[in-house]
Every structure is written in C-alpha cells, then in structure tokens.
Structure 1
C-alpha cells in the first residue's frame, strides 16, 4: 500500500479501545481507509487482534455482511466467527476452528477489553445509497457459543454488548430482531461476579518461563499455603540417577519442558485454590509437569490432591512443588498424565507430565484424576 510505504498512515500501532481522532459515527468508503486511520489494520480479515500479557485478544471487528451477522439493536450485536464460509473462500463450507481471530474474540471475554465495531449493516450511506463502513463504538464480548451455521457446519457465535455512555451520531438502519444465542457451551464474562484482582504477578518468582499469577476476589485476603516453589523433581539422597534415556512414550521432552501455557491460581466455586488456564489449550497439548519430592509411599506425606503414585513411591508436593500442586481432582478431568523419562534412565520413576485431554477454553479450571 502506497500510503504505508510513504509512512502516511495514522495510528499504526495496534491498540485497544478508542483510536485518537476517530469518533463514533465516522464513516468510511472502503476497508483501506480503515487501515489508513488505524481503526482496523486487517485489509481482508474481519477480526483484528494484538498480544497482551501473552494472550491474543481482539481489538476490532468489521461486519461487511459476508457472514450471517445480526445487529438486533444498536446495543447488542451477534458476530459470526471467521473461516469455512463459501461466500468468502472458494470451495466447500467447513467447520470453523478456534484459532486466529476466533480465539482472540474468545480471549476477549476473559480479558474484558472492549472491541471496536465497524459495520455496514447499520449507519451511514453515501449520496448514491451505497452503505459505508460506520464506526459503531466500543462493545464488550460477553458470550460465545458453537452452533450449526447456515451451511450446516459448526460456527462460533459471539454476543457483543455496547458500552454505555457512548454517543449516537447516526441513525441505525436495517436492524434485525434482538440477538439471541442458545444456552449451550457458553462462556460468560465474570463482571457479574465479584471482580478478581491480581494479588501476585508470579508465584514462581521468575523460575517459570511464563509467569504464574495469583488472582483473588477484592474482598478475599486469604494467602496461599506455605511451600517452596521448585521446577525440578527432588529425589531422595539414597537414590542414584542412571544415565538419561529416551522418553517412555518416545517424545522429545527434556529438562526445558515447563508450563506450556499461561496459568493462574484462583479460588473455585467451592472456595478452594485451583489452577485456571488464561488461554485456549488444544487437546493433546502439554500443560505442565507435576513437580514435588519423590518419597516412599506411606505415612501422611501424601495429602489428598497433592501427590501422584509412582511405582511404590509418591511425588509429594506438600512442602515443595510447582503450580500443578493446586490442580484439583475430578471424576471427569480435562487433563491426563503421561509418563516420560528425560534426565535419567530409570523407567521406574518417570516424570509425570500433564496434557490436555480435551480442548480447554480460556478461563477454565484444570482438573486431574488422582485415582
């Protein structure tokens, strides 16, 4: 684009919220103009995004009526995720995937950051009746569901609600019926609950490559149980490690395997400490290793929820452990344990690596079967 090469574009840096110099109701003739002013940086994709604290979140969306989007009213808008649409891509319709812009919109629910909405469904027209791209304002993504779309394939539907207090400098037209989403596979914003705040930015104190933050409600002053955060299994003095060998499951794990996704410590609905993922985890992906002290089974060294059996021994994370010590038991867990050997050759004592047993949405508690 010539203006980009000539460095004549404005607001070239991705940003959340309002864009300097742009007001609600401003209208544009084409998508290129949106890029020039920095309102939406994607020439073709309808969802623009950026990285924030290691999580990809949406900054703006454009509704150009190539998908079955519905603006039920100025204050409520249903947006169809991208991908798999034969009206956009040549070929057969396909199921949409939770990646790219779709993943960014889902993460916006957890981040509770507003998204700029530009639409040709409602708003301004030029002198020839051609619909213009109109900036509708800031909207919060509040829900997401997966349903069958108009072509019979799975699509993601996002419900957005307009932030109050914004001006209305245009007359919305062609608005449809109030947008409704079916009550299934719903991800909701937590604004209706007591707001959580970051209490500790990283409970590992920099030992993990990705920080493990601790979140508590504003009225909760309970502290974490006292323990030493470690990132390697502690073996008893009597145990002699043999030479390294290949993994039990023939993977390429090594001592650099740490937490693979951004995790956080929170209270669940039962007021128990638990681990929650801050981003979407696809099924089969490595999450973290269960770290603790290797001890002989017996006595009271293995507390419920803090140990994993290991051939007559137990990995006890009561006094020393990592983020996995806070993962609670469930009869329907979303994690499973894989046995791997990477720093010694003794297959009797494999490392306990935790993997996603299913697709895990952002803001979802991680659970494991200890039986």
Structure 2
C-alpha cells in the first residue's frame, strides 16, 4: 500500500481544492481576457531556430487546463473488486487521473516516465534517510564535544557514528518494498520496459527500486523455484484482508527449468572475471572473500545463481548485463550502466587463481542492440572537454563576462557561420525596477555559525520545524515544497549554513549550446545529483501590469507562489507547508492578490543569466522552487531551478514551462499554437 503520509498529503490538497473551487471558476473569464492582452506573439522566427522561434519562458499561465500530478499522487493505487477480492495492480502501472475545475481526464504514462517517477520517489526517500543520518551524527558529535568539555569519566560514552553507520540507500529501497512502491516487483526475462541500453544507475539500490536487479549486493539475480510453482506472477495480485493469492504462472514460463538467471552485475569483485566488452567470462558466486580483496577462500557450489546461469545455457535464456565503475561525480562513488542482453553460451568448472574451484560462464552480447556505452560511462552524449582548446564550435569563452565563479562557454555547431548569443546583458542577480519596493528584511533566526537544531531555529520552524536541505553533496533539497524559507541577512548563522543552500551561486560547469530546432540550450559538464540547486532565474523584477503592452518578450516569468502550490500546469501538487497553507486559507486580501494576476514577474528579455537559455521539456529534469530568504513576501519570492533527477554530464537541462494547450492568443484573438521539439516519450507535441 502507499505510505500513509502520502495519502494524507493528497487529502489536504483535495480539501484545499474544494475550498478555492469557487474562486477558480470566477477567475477563468478574467484569465482568458488577460492572456489575450498579454500573450500576443508574433510569427517572427528566431534566427537558426528551425521553426520554433524564441524560447518561451512564461511559466505560470492562469488559463492552463492540463493539470499534472506529482510522483506522490501517481503512486495512489487503483483498486478493483473481483469476486470478493481486491485486485491491486503494481503501483506505478497506473492510469493517472488529473482534475481541473471538476473535469476529469485519464492518461497512461510511458514506461520511461514510470521509471523516472520511481527513481524520483527513491531519491526522495533516500534524502529523507540521509537527513536522519546527519541528525544522528550531529547529535553524536555534540555529545562527544560535551563529554570532552566536561572531562568527566562518569559521562556515558558518545555514540560511535562509524561503527553504527546506516545505509540511507538501503533504507530507502526497504521503505519502497514496505509500501509496495517497487516498479516491477516480479522478475522478468529480457529487457525491462522503460530502461534502454545505456541507462545509468547511481546506486545498486536504484536497480532494486525499479525491479531491474532485485538484490543490492548479489551479482546474479535469478528467478527461483517458486516461479515454477506459480507463486509469482507478472501482473496483478489478489488480496483479501492480510492474505495474498496469485493468479497463476504465465504460460511462457511453464516449460522452463528453474532457477533462471535474469541479470548480472560486472563490477570487478572477482579475481577470475574477464571482460572484453562484447565477450565476457563471468565468475560464478560463492566462496568469495567479502573483505574486498577479491580473493576466493573456498570452492563454489553448483547452486542458486550458479545453477541459474547453467540453466540459461541449456535453455538459451538471455540475461541483462550491468557494468559498475568508479565515478567521482556520482553521489555513491559508483555508476552502473545497462549494456544490453547477453547470451550465456558456455559454462565450466576450473581451479581459480587462489586454488579453489570456481564456475566460469562465457557470455556473448546479442546482435542488433545499440552500441556499448561503457567506455563513455560518465557521458551519455559524448566526452566532456578538459580545456577550452578541446571545445568544439566555441563561439564565446564566457557569456558571463567573469561575473560567475565558473565561466560558461557557448558553442554553435548548427549555424553557418556560427554566431554567439546576443541581444541581452548578462546579470547574475535580480535587478529591481524603480517603482518596485522590496519588503524590509525579516528578523531571521538567532543561531550561531550553523543552524543545527530545527526546533529552535526560527527559519526551520517556517519549514515545518525541519530543514529542507541535507548537507550532502554541497546541499540538496529533500523534496519540492510550497515555499522554502531560507536563512537571510539578519540571521545569526554564516554563509555555510545548510539552510542557505540556494544562495551559493553556480557550482556546476554549464555550457550554452545551439540546437537545430530549439534555439539555444543549456547542459552541464558535471554530474548533478537530484535535489541540487542549479541556478536562479534572474532578470529585472517588475510589476506585471507594466508589461501588459509587451507582445514579443518571451522571457517573462510570473512569480506566482499561490499557483505553484495548487499544482497547475507543469508544476507538482504540493500544499504541505503548514505556514503557507494557513496564509492561503486565511483569505486575507493582500495575500490573495495573485489569485487573478501575479503582481510581480521577472523580465529576462534584455537582462538575465544562464536560466534564460534553459528550454522546455514535457519530461523535464529540473523543477521550479520558490524560495524566501531576505523577506517573507510570497509575491516576491526568488525563483530557483533544482535537479529533479540525477542528471549525467552533457544531458540537456530542461524544465516544464507549464503552458496549457490552447492558452495563448494572437492579436486577432485566435488561439496560437507552437510545436514542441523536446523529444520526450510523453511529449505533448505542442508547447501551447
């Protein structure tokens, strides 16, 4: 079943939706009129853009009707009744329901999207357990210092943080097992839907979470004898009370001899392994010295995974092969790449290097699959340049002019002759229009040095009496929130406080590059872990009413925290923060001004930073998060872009602009349309 906490979140959202449904209906007429006035777009194309025109950056549109649901609501189980039993489908194999203004629509997400949602859920649990571990270690460190300061032998010894270290990745996948949120719980032969050759996992536990390899330690994953007995079935499970029964064995498995191997991991743990990419000699399991020196300490036996691989030889069953490599950029220190299906063509027993009997298996890669990507395991789309001289198509060494701590080069392999980005002024921070008055700085917290205890930190109390970030990997947001309250100018903590994570500027090497159809785009040369802040959306902070007559500026970003919270368009449904929920439900006029029109917006047309070049995607790898630090006025929140997934180097960075289809009107009052070229599996084919 889905975790109770997630169910509670959905209930709060539904209650709030009912509360404001009347206002939404009243707004729709005014919203449409506003869009007719504001979103008048010309037919002029961007030079070299291939038909798309300028990148449209207007993110929160009030007339949107395509409501999306976040990973939490996507995991809500569909229950069917059949002869007194509940038939419960696998939680991620669901049709998702989205509702706007009382109109329901149902759609089925692609396999790729299901995999992505499952990994996002895993990462959220992972970061929650990382936070628990950081709290535990912080408490132990405080006790150690207190014990040392007191110099008292009677004081109890502090907790040994190393000897009792926990594994947040294993706890995360255990949580998903408990709540029935593993994507493909039953093992299956062949490819896994939604996972293509070249897919990268950043932890063994990630493979378990999606059902790609069911054990975080064993190198061989296999279907046991219980599959022959019909105790497992790929599909539905019938439940009645606390008991479960299965619908029987699939017909395609009836004639197999079990156990059968379905996947192996090559990670260099055995001294007798031989990996020649297309041809592999794999050492069976057992008799291994688990201390890490790779040596055999006893004979292997023809049982379990060894017997499963032997049966694959005799029954011509292919196995999935994953290769693990060390990776300094990965948050676990390793990265695992799916290299496709291999046929187990031969097996034999021999005396290994250490003198003990080991079983060997020769595997040969099946033909007709995509080329191997292991040699470029860190880079799905090519090799990261090591110096400026290696950058192909370089048209500008640093578009920031030295403003950022890291230079941002621009490349163009599309235009002839190649051109650099022009028509704007780079500015790393928000510029405020003269007629906009910023609120006075908030009082802040009285912490010293670092904010440690969320129960006494005034800023943490605004986040539900907890810190929204973990300090691992330079700071990562645990999950998307309505609004993140950070420490500000009047707080007693320093710049290294974990609750200032989004204020530290760029920390990843970014590149602006030209695309054939989407104009300019952005990618990172570094691995970006999920939850990491990428950049702020900067420009000129202006009043929305001052832009009513602007028809060709496509870099306007509405600051609309209230709409963000309601989950309209491409944003997640949140509304979990007690403080902000109270503000909304209070119905105070000042707080509800942006119910109809956001009062302020960021204009990045003539002045902006790297964020103005980030394109839209229907399956983005970034998400928008409103952040309050110097003050607490939600109408003037900072707009931050965070990583929604673990992003490998050289993958384009994207976020969902949040347009509803048929929401943009031309000067003649007719609906305008723009094609979407994001290439996502679930692409809506149109930007608006």
Q: With the length of structure 2 as denominator, give the TM-score of the two structures.
A: 0.30
Which deviations, in whole Å up to 9, do the C-alpha atoms of 1:319-359 show, x marking residues without a partner?
Answer: 00000000011121111011112233422110001001111
Of 256-265 and 224-233, deviating more is 256-265
Question: Within 5 Å, which residues of 2 pair with 1:38-49?
Answer: none
Is the aligned partner of 1:253 residue 2:500? yes
Question: Within 5 Å, which residues of 2 pair with 1:276-295?
Answer: 276-295=523-542
2:399 aligns to what SS in structure 1? coil
From the CA coordinates, give the structure whose radius of gyration is larger. Answer: 2
| Native 8 Å contact 1:340 1:350 kept in 2 | yes
Is the aligned partner of 1:334 residue 2:621? yes
Give 1:201's aligned residue: 397
Q: Distance in 2 between matches of 1:358 and 1:147?
A: 23
Distance 1:345 1:101, change over 3 A: closer
Distance 1:318 1:331, change over 3 A: same
Choose the corresponding residue for 1:189, options 353, 372, 382: 382
Distance 1:278 1:185, change over 3 A: farther
Cα RMSD of the aligned pairs, angstroms, is 4.6
Give 2:550's aligned residue: 300
Query: Aligned-pair distance for 1:200?
Result: 1.9
2:634 aligns to what SS in structure 1? coil
Which deviations, in whole Å up to 9, do the C-alpha atoms of 1:157-182 show, x marking residues without a partner?
Answer: xxxxxxxxxxxxxxxxx9x7766795
2:412 aligns to what SS in structure 1? strand
Query: Aligned-pair distance for 1:183?
Result: 3.9
Q: Distance in 1 between matches of 2:371 and 2:521?
A: 24
Question: Within 5 Å, which residues of 2 pair with 1:1-371?
Answer: 66=271, 68-71=273-276, 89-90=290-291, 100-101=327-328, 103=330, 144-145=337-338, 183=370, 187-189=380-382, 196-217=392-413, 220-245=417-442, 246=459, 248-251=483-486, 252-253=499-500, 256-270=503-517, 272-297=519-544, 298-300=548-550, 303-304=553-554, 306-310=555-559, 311-371=598-658
Query: Aligned-pair distance for 1:261?
Result: 1.3
Query: Aligned-pair distance for 1:223?
Result: 2.1
2:528 aligns to what SS in structure 1? coil
Structure 1: state its 5+ residue gaps. 1-61, 108-142, 150-173
| Matched positions, count | 238
Distance 1:325 1:227, change over 3 A: same
Q: Distance in 2 between matches of 1:283 and 1:255?
A: 14
1:217 aligns to what SS in structure 2? coil
Query: Aligned-pair distance for 1:257?
Result: 2.7
Higher relative contact order (CA 8 A, sep 6+): 2
Q: Distance in 2 between matches of 1:332 and 1:324?
A: 18
2:611 aligns to what SS in structure 1? helix
Q: Distance in 1 between matches of 2:511 and 2:558?
A: 25
Q: Distance in 1 between matches of 2:441 and 2:323?
A: 43
Distance 1:70 1:203, change over 3 A: same
1:324 aligns to what SS in structure 2? helix
- Whichever structure has more helix as a proportion of its residues is 2
Q: Distance in 2 between matches of 1:243 and 1:234?
A: 17
| Native 8 Å contact 1:144 1:188 kept in 2 | no
Q: With the length of structure 1 as denominator, give the TM-score of the two structures.
A: 0.52
Q: Distance in 2 between matches of 1:308 and 1:346?
A: 17
Distance 1:97 1:339, change over 3 A: farther
